[in-house]
Amino acid sequence: MMADVNAKTNHAIPAPASGPGTTLEKPVYDPTAPSAIEVEHIVKKYGDFTAVDDVSFSVKEGEIFGLLGPNGAGKSTLIRMMTTLIPITSGRALIAGHDVAKEPNAARRLIGVIPQALTSDLDLTIEENMSIYAKLYDVPAKERKKSIDELLELVDLTKWRDAATKTLSGGMRRRLEIARGLVHHPSIFFLDEPTTGLDPVSRVAVWEMLGNIKEHRKLTILITTHYMDEADRLCDRIAIVDHGKLVALDAPMALKASVPGSNVIEAQFENPPADWEQRLHTLDAVTSVQHEGAGMFRVLTGNGSRTTTELVEMAVTSGVPVKSLSVQNTTLDDVFVHYTGRQLRDELQKAYAFVMPQRPGLQP
Ligand SMILES: Nc1ncnc2c1ncn2[C@@H]1O[C@H](COP(=O)(O)OP(=O)(O)OP(=O)(O)O)[C@@H](O)[C@H]1O
Ligand SMILES: [Mg+2]
């Protein structure tokens, strides 16, 4: 496996502990490998509004494929169409060769789905939640216990099996739902934002669980997220979706390499003059500059060290104090800005400002 030369250097999310199941292999994409999922020119319209707009991609067997995009991008709508939950307006989706519109039952037998909202029953124990699902999916009685035991072990919930679900933390409940979604041995697993709302440690725990599961079961995973670091660490390939359209699709490293500039300088200045953004643009090797407010600038450059030296010299000769300065490799944030013209985090903040309060007990 190639080393990830773009690995981030200053990151808020702790790296997973080393050990079996924590480092996910990222295989090189093989277009000739069999497809687990094929999506061809798929469209979803609600009246005049197009929620998903002519999206095509294929997910190869054994891949972890990420759909990355802001709120309202169309991620859940895509998953709902692929998993037979809502009709497709035009185009088609195939699950292991089965057209979901023509052979929904054949497709359903092969998939596990973890919807965005938590759906486990709060009044039941962990084991009861698992067991009901296994019965619903017609898992033969003699296989049920074995499957439940194995999955609870993989998501590290064995010792809580008799605990009432309402007593679990958000992260544990997510892990229960992941285990429950696999109880009937699906080969293709859809997870819609499995870590949204979890604290960083619980998020990493979920990633580790998925790694564990993939080591024990032959599984193709399609996961949606709006966390860049999660997509980067977890996914073999990432499709960036924005306003219902697929705007970029590749391996995380290739996406980062596709953005002009290889380093990002984040610098905060005290009272920068009005033309500071333009002046930063003139520094050697700079490909783009974004003013993020409060004197903070994000500068993309093809040569981090040379630009940093020039930037500090310019600040000193112009009498503009530098309050903070960091240099890092390009991240998926820069990829998102490059392909959409916007910061993903700004989009999320806008959306969260209007989020309805959650029903008590349903969220971590
Ligand atoms: N049943 C519906 N009727 C009308 N519009 C809908 C319906 N479901 C979704 N939409 C709209 O389609 C767009 C895509 O929604 P979707 O839920 O797929 O986004 P998402 O990427 O999953 O976002 P989030 O990150 O918030 O979950 C949004 O603008 C949404 O308001
Ligand atoms: Mg969604």
In tens, the pLDDT along 138-159 reads: 899 889 999 999 999 999 999 9
Determine the distance separating the centroid of ligand 1 and the alpha carbon of 44, expressed in angstroms. Answer: 10
Bridge-partner residues for 327, per DSSP? 265
Instruction: Give residue 350's pLDDT band: very low, low, confident or very high (50, 70, 90).
Output: low
Give the Cβ contact number of residue 120 at 10 Å: 20
Question: Looking at residue 346, what is its pLDDT?
Answer: 62
Q: Please tell me the distance from the alpha carbon of residue 11 to that of residue 4, in angstroms, as a whole number.
A: 15
Instruction: Please give the residue that has the higher pLDDT: either 76 or 347.
Output: 76
Instruction: Please give the residue that has the higher pLDDT: either 149 or 18.
Output: 149
Q: Do domains 35-254 and 260-329 have the same CATH topology?
A: no
Instruction: Give residue 1's pLDDT band: very low, low, confident or very high (50, 70, 90).
Output: very low
Instruction: Please give the residue that has the higher pLDDT: either 30 or 90.
Output: 90
Q: Please tell me the distance from the alpha carbon of residue 59 to that of residue 35, in angstroms, as a whole number.
A: 6
Instruction: Give residue 345's pLDDT band: very low, low, confident or very high (50, 70, 90).
Output: low
CATH tag, 35-254:
3.40.50.300
**Has residue 12 got a pLDDT over 90?**
no
Average pLDDT score over residue span 280-299: 92
Q: Is the CB of 52 under 6 A from ligand 1?
A: no
- Regarding the domain delimited by 260-329, which CATH topology (the fold level of the hierarchy) does it fall under? Alpha-Beta Plaits (3.30.70)
Q: Which atom of ligand 1 is nearest to the CA of 73?
A: 21
Q: Is the CB of 73 under 6 A from ligand 1?
A: yes
Average pLDDT score over residue span 209-217: 86
Q: Please tell me the distance from the alpha carbon of residue 177 to that of residue 171, in angstroms, as a whole number.
A: 10
Question: Looking at residue 33, what is its pLDDT?
Answer: 86
- Closest residue by Cα to atom 30, ligand 1, is 72
List pLDDT tens digits, range 317-344. Answer: 999 999 999 998 888 888 888 888 877 6
Q: Please tell me the distance from the alpha carbon of residue 50 to that of residue 88, in angstroms, as a whole number.
A: 12
Determine the distance separating the centroid of ligand 2 and the alpha carbon of 127, expressed in angstroms. Answer: 28
Question: Looking at residue 337, what is its pLDDT?
Answer: 86
Q: Is the CB of 76 under 6 A from ligand 1?
A: yes
List pLDDT tens digits, range 42-56. Answer: 999 999 999 999 999
Query: With pLDDT > 70 as the criterion, what percentage of the chain qualifies?
Result: 87
Bridge-partner residues for 125, per DSSP? 164
Ligand nearest to the CA of 51: 1
Q: Which atom of ligand 1 is nearest to the CA of 52?
A: 14
- If we measure between CA atoms, which residue out of 275, 271, 281 comes closest to residue 311? 281
Residue 254 burial (10 A CB sphere; 0-12, 13-18, 19+): middle
Give the Cβ contact number of residue 332 at 10 Å: 25
Bridge-partner residues for 54, per DSSP? none
Q: Please tell me the distance from the alpha carbon of residue 143 to that of residue 307, in angstroms, as a whole number.
A: 62
Question: Looking at residue 303, what is its pLDDT?
Answer: 87
**Has residue 239 got a pLDDT over 90?**
yes
Query: Where exactly are the structural domains of the chain?
Result: 35-254, 260-329
Q: Is the CB of 72 under 6 A from ligand 1?
A: yes
Instruction: Give residue 19's pLDDT band: very low, low, confident or very high (50, 70, 90).
Output: very low
